[in-house]
Chains A and B, each alone.
Chain A
Amino acid sequence: MIVLLGVLVVVIGFATKRNPLLVVGVAGIATGLLGGLSPGKVLAAFGDGFAGSRAVTIFAITLPVIGLLERYGLQEQARRLIARFAGLTTGRFLALYLGLRQIGAAVGLTNVFGHAQTVRPLAVPMAEGAAERKFGQLPDRTREKVRSFSASADNVGLFFGEDVFLAVGSILLITGFVNTTYGTHLEPLQLALWAIPTAVCAFVVHGWRLLRLDRQLERELLTAHVHNTAAVEAAQ
């Protein structure tokens, strides 16, 4: 039971808002030592873990080109472009993005979209541009909200699209683990089919929330504008 103290370290570390890197480092060292690993083995585990999971950091390779384009006005152009489509509100645009992300992930294109490649340079300026066309300059709080929901559209789309694809990591992990541990024979296709009902639910639930975002923005911004005009009139 004593190795569960490592889990406790993680929970307490987060509850007390320590730096996550330190929390994970301490929890790893504590769990390893309590579980009977030698200090050398614990170090080796950290090294192997870093080496084996470099793929999650490879998106950094796209940052220079995105940064270059942003210097030349990529985000501004994305805003200008979306402003031309009158019917495309923030919510509708993000719901469309969610759908595209899900379909992309479902056919195996998990790296085609992403926070560094598409959300920051394209999706966020477009979502904000759609809101700005309707309401003018956005207050900081609203801007944060639109950006948070843009990030969420990418995440929900990726998570609940990719399992419909056969060769994705999680499907292979399930079949690999179960087939070796329990000596059965599960096919990736069977698992992928069972991911479809949840994928549909995810699109309906999050898509509906994204569409509702339009009404929230309207309420927030119209009251903000009323306050502003009232303040201006009072000042006059």
Chain B
Amino acid sequence: MIKAEWFYWLVGLSFLVMASQMVTDRSNPKRFGTGAFWGLIGAGFIYSSWVVTKQAPPEPLGAAVLVMACLAGFGFTGRGTPRTTTPEQRAASAAKLGNKLFVPALTIPAVAMACAIGVKHLSIGGRPVLQEGSETILGLGIGAVVALIVGMVMLREKRISVPVQSGRSMLEAMGWAMLLPQMLATLGAIFQVSGVGDQVGKLATSVLPEDSLYIAIVVYCVGMFAFTMIMGNAFAAFPVMTAAVGWPVLIGHFDGNPAAVLAIGMLAGFCGTLVTPMAANFNIVPAALLELKDQYGPIKAQLPTAGVLLGCNIVIMALFAF
């Protein structure tokens, strides 16, 4: 059985290799901080396997995460000059290779799709080939490895250091944003155990007037939207707002259709994800990946859509859920 952990190790290992390249890259004025940041992430990726199975204590990893946050947060990381081809070389190469260049790029989605649809159901000796529940992640990982092999063979590129260097440049461009999603997941967990949800619930019920269905709908949807913006993740906002308003008021008191109320409430939260820098993997990481000068560019492009869709969700819930 192919396990998701193997790919986490592969990612961790490539971070470690890239970190060693970063430390020796003299074009980067902050090469030691940058190398330490990515080295810690890489080591953390591998160490995490035992934390997940409770065979290793999580505290050292937690300390390492805070060190990473300090390294990035106090400006100890930077980026070197990427070693790559000139625009003229690339244009010439594109003219020579033509649409063949798309083959490896499309291999990733093709393999991911094949794994999610076909290989998912395969089993050898009664055991599934792909670890259950991780098929799409495994598809992405296998797709990337296969695509790399196809690409290197097709381009007759023998040096594995070339793709690794290219990947490293992109990592350096993304920088601290890469760690933020994982930090936010942690913050959500801490908020949960510290009872932030209960407090927000008490607050919401104390300000909510009784017997006003429409105000309750707006409070639930806008609450999901606002709390998702703060937490960067609708999954973190959902238990809080549902325990506060969704279940007791909309479903309990006003007798709403639970499936409709909860599904649409979650989607109202997704509107918040579109407009918050806290949802770094959707909004800040792409800005870095696409080399935008304005890191809020994607958020600005999404803001009007998010506002209109929040309104749509409120209307849909009011019309169909009661």
Q: Say whether B112 contacts A111, CB under 8 Å.
A: yes
A62 within 8 A of B: yes
CA distance A1 to B294 in the complex (A): 37
Judged by a CB distance under 8 angstroms, whether A222 is at the interface is no
Beta-carbon contacts of A43-66 to B below 8 Å, as 1s and 0s? Answer: 111111111111111111111111
Asked if B59 and A4 make an inter-chain contact with CB atoms under 8 angstroms apart, the answer reads no
B193 contacts A151, C-beta separation under 8 Å: no
The verdict on B80 contacting chain A, using a C-beta distance below 8 Å, is no
CB <8 Å contact, B93 and A73: yes
Which of the residues A71, A77, A170 comes within 8 Å of B98, measured between beta carbons?
A77
Q: Identify the 4 closest CB pairs spanning chains A and B, nearest first.
A: A67-B166, A35-B194, A49-B186, A47-B58
B273 touches A67 (CB 8 A): no
Interface of A is mostly: helix
CB distance from B221 to the nearest CB of A (A): 11
A186 touches B259 (CB 8 A): yes
Given contacts A25-B183, A119-B286, contact A72 B90 (CB under 8 A): yes
Alpha-carbon distance A19/B184, docked complex (angstroms): 13
The reply to whether the CB of A85 lies closer than 8 angstroms to some CB of chain B is: no
A194: Cβ under 8 A from any B Cβ: yes
In whole Å, how far is A90's beta carbon from the nearest beta carbon of chain B? Answer: 13
Chain A residues engaging chain B, CB cutoff 8 angstroms: 1, 3-4, 6-7, 10-11, 14, 18-22, 24-25, 27-28, 31-32, 34-37, 40, 42-78, 80-81, 108-113, 115-122, 124, 140, 144-145, 147-152, 154-156, 158-160, 163, 169-171, 173-174, 177-178, 181-182, 184, 186-187, 190-195, 197-198, 201-202, 205-206, 209
Contact A109 B190 (CB under 8 A): no
* Chain A residues, CB < 8 A from B291: 147
Which of A11, A159, A174 contacts B263 (CB under 8 A)?
A: A174
The interface residues of chain A lying within 8 Å CB-to-CB of B249 are none
Q: Is the CB of A44 within 8 A of B112?
A: no
Complex contacts, B301 vs chain A, CB 8 Å: 145, 148-149, 151-152
Taking a contact as CB atoms under 8 Å apart, the answer to whether B48 and A77 are in contact is no
The CA-CA distance from A90 to B297 in the complex, in Å, is 17
Instruction: Pick the residue among B155, B183, B234 that contacts A21 (CB under 8 A).
Output: B183
Determine if B193 and A144 form an interchain contact, defined as CB atoms under 8 angstroms apart.
Answer: no
A62 to B193, CA, bound (A): 35
Interface contact A22-B73, CB-CB below 8 Å: yes
Q: Are A63 and B58 in contact (CB under 8 A)?
A: no
